[in-house]
Amino acid sequence: VFRRSRALLAAAVLALAALAVVLAAPGGPAPPAVAQAPGPQDDPALPLVYVMSFDAQDGDRAIDQGRAPFLASLVRGEGASTTYYRDSRGIMVSETNPNHTAMATGAYADRSGIPGNTFAVSDAAGRESCPGDPTPDGPQVTSGEAATCVLAETFFTALKRTAPDVVTAGIFGKPKLGRLFSQQRVTPGTYDADHLWAPCEGDNDPPYCRTVPVDPVQNYARDTSVMDEVLRTVSTGVPVDGVLRRPNLTFVNFPTVDQTGHFTGAGSAYEDAIAMADQQLQRFVEQQRRLGLWERTVIFVTSDHSMDTTTSPQPNAISSRFGADADAVEVILNGSVNMVYLKDRDRPDRDALLARLRAAALTNPTVDEALFRRPNPADGGEQHTLDAVHPGWHLAGERTGDLVITARPSQKFGDGIPVGINPLSGNHGAPQTLDNTFAIVSGGGQVVQQALSATTTDPMRFDDTLANPGQSEQVDIAPTVMGLFGQRPPAQAAGRVLTEAFRPGTFAGVPGVDDGPGGACTAAAPPALGVRPRGAGLRFTLPALGSRTARIAVVRQSAGRRLTAPRTVARFTRGTSFTWSGRGQAARVTDGTYVVRAQLPVASGRTVERVVAVERRDGRFRTSGAAERRAPCGPVVLARLARPVFGGPQGRPLDVGVRLAARGRVRVELVRGGRVVGRTERTVPGGKTARLRVAARGVRPGAVEVRVRATVDGRSTTVRLRARRL
Ligand SMILES: [Zn+2]
């Protein structure tokens, strides 16, 4: 028996070794046998950057309404520092392929080559490079899902070209995104991304595909499998020139929120999917922390578009209104957008024909707008063009329809579907689905802790990108990612480097980047302090302090419904992270509200105070949201609650201390369930801490969000804190 198992073992080892050789070939999957090896090669001087796209996730639902509680806690600055762009926008057409292409290239749809999930190409190069049924002439309908169809340079290609030491990975739950980003531009025969991963489809499978659980309809991987692969590449690395290395840039797509939304609309199942995707993000952050990588980590938590509930199953093919003109055009459905292509773009009566088509489309009450790609002398000249009406869309390229028709909110089109009935309960494509998710999260204080708001002009249409230059767009991701590696944006990028989200000096030396606003500010980021429930007590996570120590006090603020005089129940002087049992030293620890006050040493021998509020209920602590925010280089330098509790039988008001970098207007609002239940507002000087006081009258007991909105130089920033009315 012994002999036989030895032989089996030897055979198994040989087989594994052979497998490892096969799998270690460039482009092949990482050998599982190497998983036990010590950590992968990793240059600690390089950042670890992750672009995580949660397909179709609406940021308002995920963050503001708390459906993604872990992400919301990161946005509140708990264990992270985060810039949250509340009014970020995706690009038109508001679909997966155009927006992921924008993320990777920084180019809008008029130059990226990918204006929709389905579109048509007329040019010879496009016919050759974009997959589709060849047609003798006229528009060739294509999904565009080929690396050669993307005209703009991706960050994978740009990094391979300018910074080949930066290791890159693309991990996609949708096979089509693997195809879109499998360029081989730098070294023919080798992918520009060092590692690619997408589920197999069983048909012309690329070498990077993996057999993982997929949904049987669309063949998309589940979010769990996608995150399994992200975790694996971080912990064991990806093969680059025969060596396992940890990726520095990882671009990820999680498809499940989108799939759920298409089938059910943006209702409770969609929100459940957001919550499940959130657990995947939490798995990731926990592993980064466990591996000691969190301090180097920057995550762009984003989505390509949101989802509109479109349950009405009635026929709605716009082409049915075109009469005899229908034969002259190709109508391509993109959810709540139709792109109409002339079969002959050079026909002499093109202007009159397009004018008739536009008029016919507008007779349908579900149509919001119908706009020309080019000026039309037969119908208003420049007046009804994409560029004139929506200059922020940057949509009027060669591959866009000659007429672009959008559906009103909660409507969809059914062109090209039998009897014109689009069965999906959720659709996107039109501008009502442009509001996406966009937060930049960092573990080591690289990112400024802030929430940036904007003026929204039309809450149904979200066509306000140009009115809000301080907000982010999908095209900003690639330039910012490249900047984090000290490189210029990809060649066709139109977006900007999001300097305001990062500590000043982050992009110093990057060609073409002016690293202000607030470029004069040289203050260090506030040191991070982690406070988490552990058993009956609390776990305190301290930054690296060297030989210095932090002083920490746990101070009781209330007992039951009574505000009590502040009373210190425990006090510590420590140099490293530690756990407190929850037992009082100076006084009994009872249920109520507490603050943790920490004096943390910083460079130059000074200390900085951090304040964290916690609640104790039924003998256990729980975190209760931020009681202070610090951003030394932000417009709101400090926002802090004097105490995290107010009211009580005495009706004590809530005191908020606010320090702005420059003179500005501050409004403090108490918000519960989306309603403002208390407020105050005034102008405050720059550089000094001003106290604003909000009355407790009219506020019912319970938790409230404290929104501190500051307007300095016409730019508004919102900072959120949390308080409890007793
Ligand atoms: Zn999508």
Percentage of the chain modeled with pLDDT above 70: 91
CA of 438 to the centre of ligand 1 (A): 14
Going from the Cα of 56 to the center of ligand 1, the distance in angstroms, rounded, reads 5
393: confidence class by pLDDT, cuts 50, 70, 90 = very high
Measure 304 CA to ligand 1 centroid, in angstroms: 5
Query: What's the CA-to-centroid distance between 465 and ligand 1, angstroms?
Result: 20
d(CA 259, ligand 1 centre) in Å: 9
In this structure, of 103-117, 388-402, 604-618, 696-710, the range with the lowest mean pLDDT score is 604-618
10 pLDDT higher than 60: no
Please state, in angstroms and rounded to a whole number, the distance separating the CA atoms of residues 174 and 181. Answer: 12
564: amino acid identity, one letter: T
From ligand 1's centre to the CA of 258, what distance in Å? 6
Name the DSSP letter for residue 30.
P
Sheet holding 550-559, edge to edge: 562-574, 550-559, 592-601, 607-617, 620-626
Residue with tokens 């943790």: 596
Cis status, amide bond into 93, omega within 30 of 0: yes
- Whole-number Å distance between alpha carbons of 240 and 242: 5
User: What's the CA-to-centroid distance between 423 and ligand 1, angstroms?
Assistant: 18
Number of Cα atoms under 13 Å in the Cβ half of residue 450: 27
pTM for the model stands at 0.71
Average pLDDT over every residue of 516-544: 70
List Cβ neighbours of 572 (8 Å cut-off, separation of 6 or more). Answer: 540, 551, 552, 553, 578, 580
Nearest-angstrom CA–CA distance, 621 and 554: 12
CB 154 within 8 A of CB 186: no
Q: What percent of the chain has pLDDT over 90?
A: 67
C-alpha span between 697 and 499 (Å, rounded): 41
Alpha helices for 291-434 (secondary structure H): 350-362, 386-389
Amino acid at 618: D
Report the SS3 class of residue 613.
strand
Q: Find out whether the peptide bond into 644 is cis, omega within 30 degrees of 0.
A: no
Cα 462 to Cα 459: distance, rounded to the nearest angstrom:
6
CA 274 to ligand 1 centroid distance, Å: 14
How many angstroms separate the alpha carbon of residue 96 from the centre of ligand 1? 3
- Could you tell me the distance, in angstroms and rounded to a whole number, from the CA of residue 137 to the centre of ligand 1? 31
Average pLDDT, the chain: 88
For residue range 268-282, list pLDDT tens digits in order.
Answer: 999 999 999 999 999
Going from the Cα of 255 to the center of ligand 1, the distance in angstroms, rounded, reads 7
How does pLDDT run across 45-61, given as a tens digit for each residue? 889 999 999 999 999 99
Ligand 1 centroid–CA 708 distance in Å is 33
Determine the distance separating the centroid of ligand 1 and the alpha carbon of 395, expressed in angstroms: 18
Nearest of 303, 296, 301 to residue 484 by alpha carbon: 296
Tokens representing 711 are 């307007």
Q: How far is the CA of 429 from the centre of ligand 1 (A)?
A: 9
What is the band of 545 on the pLDDT scale with cuts at 50, 70, 90? confident
CB of 50 within 8 A of CB of 250?
Answer: yes
pLDDT score, position 525: 57
- Centre of ligand 1 to C-alpha 385, Å, is 26
Cα 120 to ligand 1 centre (Å): 19
How are beta strands 195-199 and 168-172 bridged, if at all?
Answer: parallel
- 435 - beta bridge partners? 89
pLDDT of residue 607: 76
48 Cα–ligand 1 center, Å: 25
How far, in Å, from the CA of 145 to the mean position of ligand 1? 14
3-state class (DSSP) for residue 635: coil
Q: Would the pLDDT of 480 be above 80? A: yes
How far lies 421's CA from each of 207, 211, 266, 321, 416, in Å? 38, 34, 19, 15, 9
Ligand 1 centroid, distance to 67 Cα (angstroms): 19
Give the helix/strand (H/E) hosting 261: helix 256-264
Distance 277 CA to ligand 1 centre (A): 14
Residue 13 confidence class, pLDDT cut points 50, 70, 90: very low
